A and B are shown apart, each in its own frame.
Chain A
Amino acid sequence: MFYLDFSGAFARWGVFMHGGVFTIILAIIATLLGSLIGVVGAAARMSAFAPARLAAFGYVEIIRNTPFLIQIYVIYFGLPAVGFRLEPWPAAIIALSLYAGAYITEIVRAGVGSVAKGQVEAARTLGLSPYLTFRLVILRPALAAVYPALTSQFILIMLASSIVSTISIPELTGVANDVQGLTFRSFEAFLLVAAIYLVLTAAFKGAFAAIDRVAFAFRHVGR
């Protein structure tokens, strides 16, 4: 007989809360470290130094053309073979940040490219200091240009972080795995977790849209 029984899963709501917090923390750390990698990567991809360009290009292509699951297996199961043993948490954070960094490299590169050269020349003609030129003419429009892509990348990283459950990290999906073992109600555990992911996605999307309206108000002028 087909029926749903959420009692076991609901009784462990605290466990799911912990998993949700870990998921958010993972996504935030990976996005921050990934942004750091992304800025360096974009600078390298646009540098005049050919080996730097080639290295950054190779990194982006390797990460984007292999499954994240394999990347984490290489880091967690593979590296100990060459004497580099990592605990699950550092392995997860390193893998997720490297993954995020490749995509953010391309986002940053597009953002910098979007600032027209004439804008900088105009700012200089108006007598703006190099600092003000950078802050108002380069940085703010560049941030505004990359903001939508960066925030949707955050959501994608949050969803991809589910994969680190395969190296026994107790984030949301890992928690669902544990709960299904305890309650023998697998479908309910994953249905509940899917709903929590949806709430998180919706909440972050809403928050990002609100920030966008305040921080980059100039973009919406006249619309």
Chain B
Amino acid sequence: MFQTFSFYHVGFLAQAATWTLLLSMIALVSGGLFGAIVALARVSPFAPLRWITSAYIYVVQGTPLLVLLFLAYFGVALAGYDVPALVAAAFAFTIYAAAFLAEIWRGCIEAIGTGQWEGAKALGLSWSRTMRLVIVPQAMRLAVPPTVGFFVQLVKNTALASVIGFVELTRAGQIVANSTFQPLSVYLTVGAMYFVICSILSFVSRQLDARITVNAASTAAH
């Protein structure tokens, strides 16, 4: 016989939510590492690097994430490997996050005034030293709020990993909904769990953004 939606199920969902957070963290860290390289290549003085990376960003941003997930899942299987859903999901989310983070971080790098570039040039610094010592440290400060904001997108989008069978919060919700025949209560509970995680992150992002805006305003006033 079927069961009713109970506290026991909420515990199961909460457990699955940790997989959602874990997958989001994997995407943020590996996507961030790859994205940093892409962002630097995107602003590098070497034109072919800029073309390749902008094509990569264009392709990823012009394709639905769901299709990227399917491509990762079936693509690796085609190469003859039996892939666990977590590996395929982590791979797809890395590709996805790297493209978006690279674009966000490029904006932060370009927001650093040309005066900084000219100053570094006048000091005789090479491109890589200018980047490492002058531009990136300043850009990193600007990058924190939008990066936290993008993490909200990541957490929400990991829901799609359920479609390739990875048991995170949404897939756990499907399982509970199918066994209890109470889809409304289950999906509302799942939605509330996402809402709590994402609202906290959105709030943090806004707070950080406001702090940077205030800082910029007070610096400009001086």
Contacts and interface: CB of A to CB of B under 8 A. Distances in A.
Interface string B70-104: 11001101111000000000000000000000000
Contact of B191 (A2, A61, A70, A180): A70
Contacts of B170: 67, 69-70, 73
Interface stretch (B29-37, B42-50, B115-123, B176-184): B176-184
B198 interface: yes
Contacts of B194: 65-67, 70
B71 A162 contact: no
B184 A74 contact: yes
Given A67-B157, A70-B190, A194-B71, A2 B79 contact: yes
B19 to A, nearest CB: 14
A36 interface: no
Given A66-B191, A74-B188, A77-B183, A190 B67 contact: yes
B159 interface: yes
- Main SS class of interface, A: helix
Given A67-B159, A70-B159, A77-B183, A187 B64 contact: no
B63 A197 contact: yes
B199 interface: yes
A116 B38 CA distance: 39
Contact of A77 (B152, B163, B177): B177
A55 interface: no
Contacts of A79: 184
A160 B163 CA distance: 14
B66 interface: yes
B184 A193 contact: no
A186 B67 CA distance: 11
B59 interface: yes
B31 to A, nearest CB: 18
A74 B190 CA distance: 10
A185 to B, nearest CB: 9
B195 interface: yes
B173 A70 contact: yes
B198 A66 contact: yes
Contacts of A193: 67
Nearest to A166: B163
B54 interface: no
Contacts of B79: 2
30 contacts: A2-B79, A64-B202, A65-B156, A65-B199, A66-B194, A67-B160, A67-B194, A69-B160, A69-B170, A70-B187, A71-B191, A73-B173, A73-B177, A74-B184, A74-B187, A77-B183, A77-B187, A78-B188, A79-B184, A80-B183, A81-B185, A155-B62, A162-B65, A173-B64, A173-B70, A187-B71, A187-B74, A187-B78, A194-B67, A197-B64
Given A66-B198, A73-B183, A173-B67, 20 more contacts: A2-B79, A61-B195, A61-B202, A65-B152, A67-B170, A68-B159, A69-B159, A74-B188, A78-B187, A82-B184, A155-B62, A159-B63, A162-B65, A162-B67, A163-B160, A176-B70, A186-B70, A194-B63, A194-B67, A194-B71
Interface of A: 2, 61-62, 64-71, 73-74, 77-82, 155, 159-160, 162-163, 165-166, 173, 176, 180, 186-187, 190-191, 193-194, 197-198, 201-202
